[in-house]
Amino acid sequence: MISCKEATRLASLQMERKLTLGERVQFRLHLAICVGCRRAEKQFAFMRQAMGAWMGQKD
């Protein structure tokens, strides 16, 4: 089982590239038992969406 530190790294990394099959399996197994890392993954997705919306604004 991977640590929360590694799961957080993978949550961030998946925003940049597709995770390998092994990374995805380990990450999903960790998320199945760790509510904190599930929240972190959602926060990363929210920040990416918010930054995308902010960058898309024209002044």
Kindly calculate the radius of gyration of the chain based on its CA atoms and give it in whole angstroms. Answer: 13
pLDDT of residue 25: 98
The answer for 2, left when phi > 0, alpha when psi is -120 to 50, beta otherwise, is beta
pLDDT along the chain (59 residues), means of 10: 96 95 98 97 93 75
Which residue range forms the structural domain that includes residue 27? 4-55
pLDDT of residue 58: 55
Does the predicted TM-score (pTM) go above 0.85? no
Return the structure tokens found at 54: 């902010």
DSSP letters for 37-53: HHHHHHHHHHHHHHHHH
Q: How many domains does the chain have?
A: 1
